[in-house]
Chain A
Amino acid sequence: MAVQDNIGERAPRASLLNDPVVRGIIYQVLVAAAVVAFISWIVLNTAQNLAAQNKSTGFDFLFRTAGFDISFTLFPWSRTSLYWQAFLAGLLNTLLVSIIGIFFATILGFTLGIARLSSNWLVARVATVYIETIRNIPLLLQLFFWYFAVLKAMPAVRESFALPLDIFINQRGLMVPRPLPDQEFVWVLVAIVTALIAAIAIGIWATRVRTATGRYPGQVVLAAKVADAIVSFLVALLAFSLLANMVRGISMPIMLGASVLVAAVSVTRFAPFGRATLAFVFGLTILYALLVAMFPAVPQLLIASGSAIGGLTMAWITFARATERPPSEGRFPFALLILIAVGIPSLVYWATGAQLAFEIPVLARFNFRGGVQLPPELVALVFGLTIYTAAFIAENVRGGIRAVSSGQNEAAQSLGLKEGDRLRLVIIPQAMRVIVPPLTSQYLNLTKNSSLGAAIGYPELVNVFTGTTLNQTGKAIEVIALTMAVYLTFSLLTSAFMNWYNGRVALVER
């Protein structure tokens, strides 16, 4: 076989046009020239159009008086406020509804995502139907539904629905009590933060000691036993007072006595019986209250016996779980930490004599007086965004959990980890790696979707600024540029976070 030997010869001459590097430069120059030409054409046209309409450009309009009303702002607003304050009001309203929406959508979305993977056929089916329905209906339509069909159809102010905790709902929105902290309340806030930090520090320290020596430090074990008893007493008191609401004839001494008994039992080896009793009482009372509210037509005796069966099942489950619990020396001291985080602020509250009063909304002649009045637009927007985004978050969560290979679960089982520990230590950390990036983009989507509030009259950025301000000033370019800048900032912040997170959790391979 003849082999041509080219070594040492010069490369064949070729046209400069066929050189990839030269070509690339020519292409780029052409494209850049075309883009520049296109942009200057647009700029020239715009300048001409603006000149024809006698309009000036510049951001000086931001410091002029706005002169319109905004129905809901987070800071005092009057007709003499300036346009930049309108911008700020819109931006704050966007952030407010986004943060509330993200909070609820995350809870609902995680619940639904896990429910869809449940081994319980019914629960999985209900979650699937929810997700498949909500995902395939436009958000704007859902917002219209909540706003025009549900909230606008609420009763008039006189016939407001009264919800628990002095919350009222009517055509004009949601009326909630306004907290009125006094001067000393600052100390309680300080105590809350300090106690929380202390509790977390103790938790970390105890875990470290246990990792190093194999057992929790002695002081913590002793304190945890005391805390267990105190928390049992308080929980028992809560349970029996709920029971006293349902069944007449349970007086204060009986409640106290029973609670002390439960607390005393909780430090002995008969603790499972105490926990089962509490589970029964909670199951019975909560189920009863729920069912009575849901099915007013069904006779109460039937509901009571059904609730009792539910409570007994709860007691059975709790008893079975409690007997499998390791002795208190081997348990993480949850009760102690909760007691520290809640108890110390309560003590400070009581000791300083601070007052946290609530201004309760009261029906006056024409409207509610006092309290905070959340406009129906805000409520509808939060409802719509939460319900819509939760369906997408649920799918991300499901995908993330499914992405963890079953071998991980089996390996964790073979190490002897319990189901809870398997989820907490093995499955969830790996699933989060997959869940967090799409989750952040869902959060960004929710923030962007909050601009649909403009369609139902919620005064967020697009409504107040890109809508009203643009109409009044006619400064189309400046207003739209500012709006774009805001959303671009949100988007860049989100992707910066995502890159940071991805870099942190990425699998380190060879």
Chain B
Amino acid sequence: MTTDTAYIRDEFVPERPAPGRAGGPIMWLRANLFATPSDAILTVLGVIFLLWAVPPIYNFIIGHAVFPGGTVEDCRAEGAGACWAYIYARFNFFIYGFYPIDQYWRPNIVFILGAALILPLLIPTAPFKRINAVLFFLVFPVFGFFLLSGGVFGLSYVPTEQWGGLLVTLIISLVGIICSIPLGILLALGRQSDLPVIKTLCVMFIELWRAMPLITVLFMASIMLPLFMPTGTNVDKLLRALVGVTLFASAYLAEVVRGGLQALPRGQYEAGASLGLSYWKRTYFIILPQAIKHVIPGIVNNFIALFKDTSLVSIVGIFDLLNTVQAASSDIEWASPTQAVTGYVFAAFMFWIFCFAMSRYSLWMERRLDTGHKR
């Protein structure tokens, strides 16, 4: 076909050859590691760094490590890696602290019950959410407390000074989480309130706690709380720490919940009011379910921070996981050059497992809840 319009082609563009292979490992390498010369240099530097850093770490943790069954002499040998035999020998101390050995079944029941109650709570499709939540948030803490401390139903009394290790870490974070939720929600609602007195009080409370480092809060709780109580009251050391951690956590939680409240469109509040619902009914049935749903990832991130922060109670003399590891590292029976590092690696791994699991859960929830809100 010919035409006299100059700008229209009258012949086909010659065919180009088919593109090279678009897939396969070689193309992947080219696209992701060697796309440009500077990319290639980065890759080579990265490989050099890994070659330098990974073998010593591998040798320490696995290659030259002394596994359970080994002896102190193996750990003291020149060039020995982590002394897992020491962790194995002291494992019960890291988990239960100074809890009487013949009573280990009590914390074990608490662990199992807690896990059995929390798992269905975390799975959104599991049934009986309401009963489950009541059991976990109200019944379980009371039951767990009486089972652990004893003194009733013929159980021997175990004072809180003997509780320790992972048990105490979990107790502090769980109590902090459970108590800070209602407190944090109330504070957030108060901060959003139209009533100036309530609003001011809530803002002051939240900002004061958020301004201070947790370690000061714990110092304060352990020194000031006995002063504030009527003369002669004896406040348990663990309880003081719990009060400090809870108030601290609730101030942070309040800010997260406030974010959720602010994200709700005004129409939701107004629609609730136009239905003739009272403030509390409106808040409970309309506002909170939507606001909390928005900020579940933020709340879980708060819990991760709280879980890590529980390690600070070791400063006020409570034997949590970190403090038991620290105390055991001066154990002469297992004294070896790698003793301290092994303990820290173990503790770090324990904390990491819990925090990483929580953060993955929060990511997963975020993706799950995200679907309805994209416009």
State the A residues within 8 Å of B (CB). 24, 27-28, 31-32, 35, 42, 45-46, 48-50, 52, 118-123, 126, 132-133, 135-142, 144-145, 148-149, 153, 291, 294-295, 310, 313-314, 316-317, 320, 448-449, 451-452, 454-455, 462, 466-467, 470, 476-477, 480, 483-484, 487-488, 490-492
Contacts and interface: CB of A to CB of B under 8 A. Distances in A.
Contact of B215 (A294, A317, A462, A492): A462
Given A138-B308, A320-B37, 7 more contacts: A49-B231, A122-B46, A310-B44, A313-B37, A451-B216, A455-B215, A480-B223
Contact of B322 (A119, A120, A138, A153): A138
A283 B239 CA distance: 60
Interface in B28-82: 32-33, 35, 37-44, 46-52
Contacts of B344: 141, 144-145, 148-149
| CB-CB nearest 7 A-B residue pairs | A491-B211, A136-B355, A121-B32, A448-B213, A28-B197, A138-B311, A138-B308
B220 interface: yes
Given A291-B48, A480-B224, A27 B309 contact: no
B216 A487 contact: yes
Contacts of A122: 32-33, 42-43, 46-47
B229 interface: yes
A140 B33 CA distance: 37
A454 B315 contact: yes
B212 A137 contact: no
B244 to A, nearest CB: 12
A119 B39 contact: yes
Given A313-B37, A455-B315, A462-B219, A139 B229 contact: no
B326 interface: yes
Given A27-B198, A310-B44, A452-B312, A45 B231 contact: yes
Interface stretch (B16-24, B151-159, B260-268, B346-354): B346-354
Contacts of B194: 24
B366 to A, nearest CB: 13
B359 interface: yes
28 contacts: A24-B194, A27-B198, A32-B201, A46-B228, A120-B35, A120-B39, A122-B33, A126-B46, A133-B352, A137-B308, A137-B348, A140-B311, A141-B322, A141-B348, A142-B348, A148-B340, A310-B41, A317-B38, A454-B315, A455-B315, A462-B219, A466-B219, A483-B212, A484-B216, A487-B213, A487-B216, A488-B207, A488-B211
B210 interface: yes
Contacts of B32: 119-122
B27 interface: no
Contacts of B40: 313
Interface in B281-332: 304, 308-309, 311-312, 314-315, 322, 326, 329
B230 interface: yes
A113 to B, nearest CB: 16
Contacts of A314: 41
A456 B67 CA distance: 30
Contacts of A123: 42-43, 46
Nearest to B340: A149
A138 B213 contact: no
Contact of B52 (A126, A295, A313, A462): A295
Contacts of A454: 215, 315
A455 B313 CA distance: 11
B341 interface: yes
B37 A316 contact: yes
Contacts of A50: 227
A477 B340 CA distance: 37
Contacts of A448: 212-213
A49 B215 contact: no
A121 to B, nearest CB: 4
B228 A42 contact: yes
Contacts of B41: 310, 313-314, 317
A451 B213 contact: yes
A139 B308 contact: yes
B195 interface: yes
A148 B213 CA distance: 23
A31 B198 contact: yes
B50 A141 contact: no
Given A144-B326, A310-B44, A28 B359 contact: no
B344 to A, nearest CB: 5
B196 interface: yes
A153 B231 CA distance: 47
A24 B195 contact: yes
B308 to A, nearest CB: 4
Given A138-B351, A317-B38, A480 B216 contact: yes
B195 A137 contact: no
A50 B231 CA distance: 9
B340 to A, nearest CB: 5
B215 A452 contact: yes
Contacts of B337: 153
Nearest to B233: A45
Nearest to A43: B228
Given A138-B309, A148-B340, A480-B220, A28 B52 contact: no
A295 B54 CA distance: 13
B212 A487 contact: yes
Contacts of A320: 37
Nearest to A47: B227
Contacts of B39: 119-120
B227 A45 contact: yes
A122 B49 CA distance: 11
Interface in B218-249: 219-220, 223-224, 226-231
B49 A126 contact: yes
